[in-house]
Amino acid sequence: MYKQFKLNFMALGKVESTDPTDPTMGTVREDESDQVYPFIDPNFPSSGLKVGNPCTYDIDYSQPKPIASNLKAYVPTSQDITTTVQGPITLNTGETLNIKKGGMVNGNIVVTNANLIVEDTGGVIGEITVDAQGSFIIRKGGMVNGNIVVNKGSVCKVVNKGNVKGNIVVTSANRLIVGNDNGGGTITGSITVDKIRKVIITATSVINCGA
């Protein structure tokens, strides 16, 4: 007889609503996908969380109707890089890393349920892996010289003159967005998609240009 294992992932979101008749139940709104999931958590009444509060939670996306649990309050942390830094770098739940003008990371970056922003001519020379509800945005002349892998309900945005000089591989991700109203993105390499919920590519974007 085989046991059935749950594939729980930690995600980021906000408390969307609570059940007025049962304080252990309600809904959470996921940050990156904006999708709303129900939650059942016997410890919620003592968590101090209220509607609108940011939180982490566990959820099994492999289920037909995922239900969140184990809600906990969190305070996100943010760091800027404006000089040259040696990698590798790992971003964990609730962390945000901004690579800005004058900033360069030489090495790989793993984004696990966190946020990475490369902008204002900041750059990364290395591979980027976005995993477990992570978010990666490259914009305003930011550059990545390496491949990008997007996994497990994450999002990748190459917009407003963002430039990727490598390939992008998307597996079981929420969104891939190339270009927005502020300008197109450029991807020199190829895009490989295994499974995805949403793709947006604007007419001002350039993909696999061979440059």
Q: Domain ranges for the chain, please list them.
A: 8-73, 77-207
| pLDDT for the residue 47 | 92
| pLDDT for the residue 75 | 76
Convert 100-113 to b/e letters by CB count within 10 Å (16 or more is b). Answer: beebbbeebbbbbb
| pLDDT for the residue 5 | 41
Determine contact, residues 15/26, Cβ cutoff 8 Å. Answer: yes
| Cα–Cα separations (whole angstroms), residue 43 to 26, 72, 135, 168, 169 | 12, 9, 28, 40, 38
Q: Tokens for 119?
A: 């902008």
**Which pLDDT tens digits describe the chain residue by residue (211 residues)?**
333 445 566 777 899 999 999 999 999 998 766 789 999 999 999 999 999 998 888 888 778 888 999 999 877 788 899 999 998 999 987 788 999 999 999 999 999 888 899 999 999 999 999 987 788 999 999 999 999 999 877 889 999 999 999 999 988 777 888 998 888 999 998 888 887 777 888 988 988 865 4
pTM, rounded to two decimals: 0.70
Determine contact, residues 16/137, Cβ cutoff 8 Å. Answer: no
Write the DSSP symbol of residue 44.
G
- Distance, CA of 86 to CA of 14 (rounded, Å): 34
| pLDDT for the residue 94 | 76
| pLDDT for the residue 199 | 84
| pLDDT for the residue 200 | 84
CATH topology (fold) of 8-73: OB fold (Dihydrolipoamide Acetyltransferase, E2P) (2.40.50)
Cα distance between the two ends of the chain:
56
Alpha-carbon dihedral sign for residues 132, 170, 126, 104? negative
Please report where in the chains the tokens 């046991």 appear, as a residue: 3
| Cα–Cα separations (whole angstroms), residue 193 to 196, 197, 198 | 7, 10, 11
- Distance, CA of 123 to CA of 116 (rounded, Å): 12
Pairing type for strands 196-201 and 8-19 reads: unpaired
- Distance, CA of 54 to CA of 72 (rounded, Å): 9
